Each structure stands twice: as C-alpha cells, then as structure tokens.
Structure 1
Amino acid sequence: MLATVPKPPMPPLPEVTVPLAELVPPRCRHYFSGRSDRAHYRTRRYDFGGSAQYMPLVRAFLDTCAAERDDDYRYLFTLLGSELANNALRHSRSGQPFGVYTLTCQRTRLGLHLTCRDQGARDSRPLALDQRLHLRPSSGGLDLAAESGRGLAMIDALATSWGDNGICDYRQVWFFLAYDLTDSLWNVQP
C-alpha cells in the first residue's frame, strides 16, 4: 500500500471588487435600471445570491419594478421588499453559503404583488404535508425600542395585505401594495 502525503489546505481565495451590474445577465439588466422607459411588464422574477452584499441590487430591482409610480410608493415598495429579502437572508437557509432566494413581482391593475421564495427555515423540523406553520408579526414589533420582530410588523402595518404559504421547507412570503395605498398606515396621521 502506497503512503500518501497529505495535501496542504487550499489557501483562501482573494476578495475582489466587482460592479454588481456585472453579475446580472444582459437580458435582465433593465430590471435594475431604475427607469420606467422599458415596455410594460406583467411579471418580473430574479434569483439573488444569499449574501447581504447583494442588497443594493435587490433595492434597484424593487425600485425599478415600481418605477412608474410616485416617489412615496416607490420608497414604500422598496422598503417592504427589502424587508422580505432581509428576512430570507437572516432566517432561512438562503442566507447560508451558496444560498439563493427569488423575488417575483407581479403587476396588476390595482397594485404590485411581491413574493419572496426562500430555501426554507434553518432550523425547521419536517412537518406532515397537510400541516402549515404560518408566520405572525410580533405584537411589539412596531415599538421603536424593539430589538427584533420589526420586519413583519412593519409589513403588516404598511402593506395592503400580506401572507405566506406556511411551508417551512419552501417558504413563500408575499405582500400586495395597492397603488392608492389602501389599508396601509403609510399616510395615516398619528
């Protein structure tokens, strides 16, 4: 039997700075332009890598999806969509190495519907196929002193409607934001 010499571990790869636009295929670059000069769309979908370093790209995608609306609407849609993306990174396997999550924006006559599909909860135990475990916003999430739980509470308060599929291993969280901000606390005076 031949003796083998153990190989030294591979040195870590160097970090490089690459413009985020270089990571987007040419056929999808208009998803991130921030302009409304492209033809109307019904659905836009993009898969994002599981790192917070891609959040500027996520915000550009969301802002471009709402580019035909006023500044308040664009800001609110981008804020709520960023919150879904951050939750996918923080609470699911999508935020682990080689993770990915998908944002799908559907435009309707009444508003924009955004769905975030992640790779499932990091610590989920398998449930029976007929069991659902739906997300609920934290009761104290809108308290300014809250340490956690603010994201879903904010989505609950500011989106027209929201929900999830209740499947921990293949979570899809969505919200709908009406163009006139119906049922949103955004323009409500305290």
Structure 2
Amino acid sequence: MTDLPGQTLFHSFQVDPEGPASVPTARRLLLSLVRGWNLPLADETHDDLGLLSSEVIDNAIRHTSGPCSVTVRWTGARLRVEVTDTAAGLPTSRGRALYAESGRGLLLVASVAASWGSARTATGKVVWFEVAPAAPTADPDRLAS
C-alpha cells in the first residue's frame, strides 16, 4: 500500500504475553506493516520505531497480567504507536542509576520519540509515542544550478 497525502493508515493487533518471543514478534510485525505502507520514513526512523516499540510493548507485558494490544496509525504527518494494557497505573520514571540494568525505558522513549504520553482507559491504560519523518533537506546540487 502506498501512502497518499493526508491518508490515514491504521492497523491493530494483539500481543500474546505468554509467547516466548512476544516482544520481538510484535516488533517485527509492526516494522513489516510500516515498511509495507511505504511511508516517508528514513532507515534511522525505522530503527527508532523498532527500539521504542520494543520498550513500550515489553513494559506492557512485564507490568500487567492481561493481554495488550498494539495500534499503529499514520496520520499523514506522524506515525503513532499505541500500546493498550489492563493495568490502571500510568507509567512513571523511576530515576534509575546510570548503570542500572533496567528502568530507563521511559527516558529512552522521551528522548527519541517526537512526542509520547499515556492515559487511563476504561479497562487499563494506553501508552503512546509518535515518530516523524525527517525534515526535508535541500539538495545543494539543485540549488547551485
């Protein structure tokens, strides 16, 4: 599917928290889906998307007992990923030490994503982040002619 200006693309899927490779499987599905949309995203943005998706999906599986779902949406300007789970508590940064083995995922999301947030839902919460296409750069050869 090719992106049309202003077109909203949308896909949602469930993540099996009991599966041994649930996070990598969900990440691969998400990246395959987004690449199939032929969005104007740089390879580095796809790398960021994989990293951020893994963090948010892993948190949903690690800190809840129920299933989680992933929704991916292209708005025509940004790619938004929403991970919905059954825990009511909103995520908070725990101020981990620099060399701690875990606990810095939200810091990573906050520093890499174009924007992110969370909200309570009727059955738990949703944590979301957005990535944006790189700003177009001028072609110096074109400007010189």
Q: State how far apart, in whole Å, the 2-side matches of 1:101 and 1:84 are.
A: 11
Counterpart of 2:48? 76
Q: Answer yes or no: is 1:147 the counterpart of 2:101.
A: yes
- What letter is aligned with 1:120? A
Higher strand share: 2
Deviation at 1:119, TM superposition (A): 1.8
Matches within 5 A, 1:116-135: 116-120=83-87, 134-135=90-91
For normalisation by structure 2, the TM-score amounts to 0.75
Deviation at 1:65, TM superposition (A): 3.6
Deviation at 1:81, TM superposition (A): 0.7
Q: Answer yes or no: is 1:137 the counterpart of 2:97.
A: no
Deviation at 1:44, TM superposition (A): 0.7
Q: State how far apart, in whole Å, the 2-side matches of 1:178 and 1:39 are.
A: 17
Counterpart of 1:186? none
Counterpart of 1:157? 111
Query: Does the residue aligned with 1:165 lie in a helix, a strand or coil?
Result: strand
Deviation at 1:178, TM superposition (A): 1.4
Q: State how far apart, in whole Å, the 1-side matches of 2:94 and 2:110 are.
A: 10
Cα pair 1:66 1:77 within 8 Å, conserved:
no
For normalisation by structure 1, the TM-score amounts to 0.58
Deviation at 1:39, TM superposition (A): 4.7
- What letter is aligned with 1:75? D
Identity of aligned residues (%): 25
Deviation at 1:90, TM superposition (A): 0.6
- What letter is aligned with 2:27? R
Counterpart of 2:129? 175
Task: Report runs of 4+ in structure 1 exceeding 4 Å deviation.
Answer: none
* Greater Cα radius of gyration, structure 1 or 2: 1
Matches within 5 A, 1:1-190: 38-40=1-3, 42-51=9-18, 52-67=20-35, 68=38, 69-94=41-66, 100-120=67-87, 134-140=90-96, 143=98, 145-166=99-120, 170-180=124-134
Equivalent residue pairs, number = 126
Greater relative contact order structure (CA < 8 Å, 6+ sep): 2
Deviation at 1:168, TM superposition (A): 9.4
